[in-house]
Every structure is written in C-alpha cells, then in structure tokens.
Chain A
Amino acid sequence: MTALLRAELRRFVARDVVRVFAVAVLVAIALGGVLGAINSKVRAESEQYRGELERCLAGQYVPADELPRPFDTLEEFCADAVRPEYYGGGDNRFQLRTLPDVLKAAAFLVVIGGLLLGASFVGAEWHAGTMTTLLTWEPRRLRVLAAKALVAAVGVFVLMVVLLGAFALTLTLVAVTRGVTDGLGDHFWRSVVGTLLRIAACASAGSLVGLGIAMITRSTAAAVGIGFAYLGIVEGLIRGLRPGWQHFLLADNIAVVITGADRGIMRLPVTLTHAAVTVAAWAAALLLAAAASFRSRDVG
C-alpha cells in the first residue's frame, strides 16, 4: 500500500493540471498583491463628495425627523450614507483585520478548485485508459481507490494550505507596507490560521466529492457537470422547496465550516461540528458509491 501511495503521490505532483493550477493561482496572488498595494492609500475627498454631504446634512436625503433606524442624528445617517470612498476618495488602505473575511470570500473558488483537481485526478486516468494499465500492476481495486482518494485529499489540502498561505502572506505584506495593521485583536492570527485550515479542509472534501463522481462516471467533464448541476440547481431547488432538508445540503454545510459558525446561513442554525460531519459524510458516501461501482464494473 505504501508503494502504491508513493506512486500515486508522484503522479499527483507530476500532473500538468496541478502545476498549472498552482502557478496560475500564485501569479493571480502576485498580481492581486500588486494591485492591492497600488490601491491601498488615502485619497483626498472629492468636490462631489462634499456637495453630496452638504445636501444630505441639509435634509435633502431624509428629513431630520424621519431618520431610519438605528440612526439618532442626521450627522450619523449622513456619515453612513455618504462616504468619501463612494466618490473616489477616503481611506482605501487595506485593513489587515479584514484578512479572514478576504480568505472566506476566496473560499468558494478554492473549494471548486479542489473539486476540479479531485475529479481530473481519476477522470484523466479513465480518459487516457491508464486505469487498465494500473490494474495490471495492482488488481486490488479498493486499494487503488483508497490510495487515489488519500493522495487527492492530502494533496489538495496541502496545496490549498500553501496557496492560501501565500495569499495571506501577500495581503499581510500589503497591509504592513501600505495598509493598516491596527485593531487585530488577541486571537487574530489564530482566526486566520483556523479560517485557512477550514477552507483547505473543505477543498480536500471537495476533491473527494469530485473524485467519487469521476470514478462513477469515468469522466472528468461528467463529474464536473454533475457537481455544478447538483450544487447550483438541485440544492437550490431543495433549499426553496424543502427548507427542512437544508441541514443536510453540501453547499450550506461547507459555508458553515468555512465561516466557522452558522451566521444566518441555515434557517435553523447548526453547529460547526454538525456541518463538518455532514460534509465528511457526503465525501464518504460518494467514495463508498465509487468503491461499489469500481469493484463491480468491468474495466476496458
């Protein structure tokens, strides 16, 4: 099993799609860092901003006696409704304290990346016909599947930790050199690391979901198509038609894991443990279905 794992790991690392993905993401991070650094600055307030603020304070937006909640004074309301950044001015410096939120915003792409890498890891093998060759070297199919699943899960997790780490480091550099590093709080870095690990874990689960579907369909394209159709359409319909089932939907539970808590994602809140277990159960169920399919169907 160890030799098989080593062989699969070597193949995972040598795959063009993994290398291209990693390089493309690193280039995007570098570009994003440069653009972020360029835009991270305090701009002068524009004439238009000052004009709009005056109009607001004159009660032309809302009369002083009809202020919406939670505003008590017209000044408070106008400070919120008319901001300098809306008119090309104000403090646009990158705030390091927002780093966890930035990572969470990127999480969707990371999880989809994990799904694609997992699906293509076995889909490419079926497409090229190399599964036949592999099985003439290791005929124990469950071992083959277990090795592939383990390598995909660990490989995607490590890859995403590295890429997200590079992203976080880049943004930290932007904040240190041209942004704001105040107000981080005592547990800031723990929060960053926790967010990063949870996103990578979800990407790892996504890779197992992609791998499982690709093992059943024997095609990367079919696996990705089914994955997107399910997450985008089927779960959307379930969410609308059967709200009670939301607790068991993959996308919603992934969202809870990524955010670290259920912040209004579910109609009836769930715990982080519930969400993590549900995501793991999805991955396990698809792997079991893949194992049954792989074991019983002819190859070639």
Chain B
Amino acid sequence: MSVIEIEGLTKEYSRIRGGRTVAVAGLDLSVPEGGVFGFLGPNGAGKTTTIRCLLGLVAASSGRLRLLGAEVPRDLSAVIGRVGSIVETPTLFPRFTGRRNLQILGQIHGVGPASVSEVLATVGLAERADDRVRTYSLGMKQRLGIAAALLKDPSMLILDEPANGLDPAGIVEVRELVRRLGAEGRTVFISSHILSEIQHTADRVAILARGRLVKEGPVREVLARGGAEGLVVKVDDLPAAARALAEAGIAATIDGDALLIPLPATEGPRVTRALADRGLYLGELRPDEVDLETVFLELTRDQESNP
C-alpha cells in the first residue's frame, strides 16, 4: 500500500513582472508504507513545494495527491491526526516556552501533558522545556519541531530538512531517531541535503531536479547507477593481477591503486581464487558502490544540462 501517491503534480507561481515559475512539473511519486523514504534534490528542485502541497499549505496547479489514502486537500483533515510534520525551519511561538507551545498544539488533538513531557525527553529538550523558545538555538528549535511532529504519535512523518542547524551529535541523534521510527513500522518521508544521512537511513530514495523526478527506487539500486555493478580489488602488483585475471577470463582495468572488475559481488569468490592460484593475495575486495552524493550530482547535472 502506498501512503503517499502523487500523480502529475504541477505547481506554478506567477511572477510579479509577468510569466510563471514552475516549481514542480508533473511529478509522479509513490511512497510505500513503512520505512524511511529519502526525498532529495538541489535547492529549488521543488521538494519543499511538494511537501507543502502534500500538507495542504499550498494549492497544486494541477495533479492529484493522496496522503494515507485521503485526497489532498479535500480529505486531509481526516488523516492529519496521523501525520506529523516539519516544514523547513519549525515555527513555534518564540515568546512561549517549548512546553507551552507543545501543550497548545497537543490540545487540538487531545494530546495530554504526559505525552508532551515524553516527546520533549525523546528529543533531549526536557531540561530546557520551560524556557522561552526565543532563547533556543537553531538546533534546539529543530528538536522542538521534531518533538511537535512526534506529539501525535503519527503513523507517518513528513520531515523537511530535520537535521538543519543541528550539530554533528544532533545529526547522529536525528539519524538514529529516524531509523528507529522507520523500524517501528512508521513511514518517514524525509527530505535532506545531507546525502550521507539519507544514504545511511533511507530504504528508498527519490531524486528531484527542476521539479521533475529523475530517479526513484531502493537506495542500493540507485547507488548502482542504473544497474551497473562491479568489484574493486586492491593487490600489491596490479599489472600482474590484471594479467592473472585475464588468463582466468575475467576482464579488469587498472584505476589508480585498484583494479575495477565489471562483475557483481556474487563473483567475489571466483576473483579471489583466480588471484590466489597465481600467488597474488588480496589487500581489499569490495563492491564498486558510489556514494549517494556522486549519483545525486550526476543525475541532477544531467538534468541541468538537459532541461
């Protein structure tokens, strides 16, 4: 079952001096239930606009959106109690304490003070809960926003850049929290520009550029750059190893201080045996995976050059 279904979403804005800016151009996206779904894209790609459309804050110019099976915006109120969200920098009343902010929000859905204390502890704000929000650092405001998103005990979380402004320790905490929430069976739809975080937390990703979807799928598939797979081998004598592999019928090319072999990871034992038979021993053997950042830059660069 898909918890988010987006069909042909287009959002255009009128410019003051005439003309229109297309923020999202015919986006189709389906997010399955459970786990962590990464939503990536460079600045201005349309991520936040898509999230705002999903939450009914912005009206779509055309297209259809469904959230937890409810048509957005028409039936959004029926499911909003099961959706926790952060849109960009969380905005709460600066003159109220963190606790009072959450109590006021919680009251709308009948969430009691005990739950408020619980989520404040979850995000590590218990000690500062009774201070005014205006005295909070950006990272603390971000934590409070996450606490607000968790307050409804939602089955789905939509988090727009939740690690914004957090220090490294905070980023790790958010990563672990997101993983834990995904593992609990909730769906976490998370947009972030910290690609390494998404790579380590998300099960699936979608990459957006110029308002269009350029890649979507499980993280491992996306990292495999369209199905291309390979092995990286490090040995002391690279030319001898290349010759030995060629004799065993395995193509290999020297790339820097390693050999690149266009075989899947399941062929690792065959490669190991071919080298060992000729007295060459492995320093390292690993799948040739690129990181998400590389894939992201390649995909979005392609999109920029072919608008």
User: Which A residues lie at the B interface, using CB under 8 A?
Assistant: 3-4, 6-7, 10-11, 14-16, 124, 128-130, 132-140, 296, 298-300
Contacts and interface: CB of A to CB of B under 8 A. Distances in A.
A124 B96 CA distance: 12
20 contacts: A3-B109, A3-B110, A7-B104, A10-B107, A11-B104, A128-B94, A133-B91, A134-B105, A136-B55, A136-B80, A137-B105, A137-B109, A138-B80, A139-B73, A139-B76, A139-B77, A140-B77, A296-B59, A298-B52, A299-B57
Interface string B250-287: 00000000000000000000000000000000000000
On chain B, which size bracket covers the interface? 20 to 34
Q: Which 4 A-B pairs have the closest CB atoms?
A: A129-B91, A7-B107, A298-B58, A139-B56
A154 B80 CA distance: 28
A6 B111 CA distance: 13
Contacts of B58: 298-300
Nearest to B72: A139
Contact of A139 (B80, B88, B90, B148): B80
A133 B148 contact: yes
A142 to B, nearest CB: 11
A6 B107 contact: yes
Contacts of A15: 95
Contact of B91 (A14, A16, A130, A138): A130
Nearest to A6: B107
A140 B91 CA distance: 19
B15 to A, nearest CB: 15
A296 B85 CA distance: 22
B224 interface: no
A243 to B, nearest CB: 40
B92 interface: yes
A269 B166 CA distance: 66
Contacts of B104: 7, 10-11, 14
B299 interface: no
A8 B105 CA distance: 9
A139 B82 CA distance: 13
Contacts of B95: 15-16
Given A6-B107, A7-B107, A138-B108, A133 B57 contact: no
A267 B261 CA distance: 97
Contacts of A11: 93, 96, 104
B77 A132 contact: no
Given A137-B152, A139-B77, A298-B52, 6 more contacts: A7-B107, A128-B94, A133-B105, A135-B56, A139-B55, A298-B59
B87 interface: yes
A300 B107 contact: no
B57 A132 contact: yes
Nearest to B151: A137
A291 B164 CA distance: 34
A3 B108 CA distance: 5
Given A7-B104, A300-B57, A132 B91 contact: yes
Nearest to A17: B95
A133 B59 contact: no
B64 interface: no
A298 B57 contact: yes
Contacts of A132: 57, 87, 91
A130 B92 contact: yes
Contact of A133 (B92, B107, B109): B92
B100 interface: yes
Interface string B102-124: 01110111100000000000000
A139 B93 CA distance: 19
B105 A7 contact: yes
A4 B94 CA distance: 20
A28 to B, nearest CB: 23
Nearest to A143: B77
B55 A135 contact: yes
A137 B110 CA distance: 11
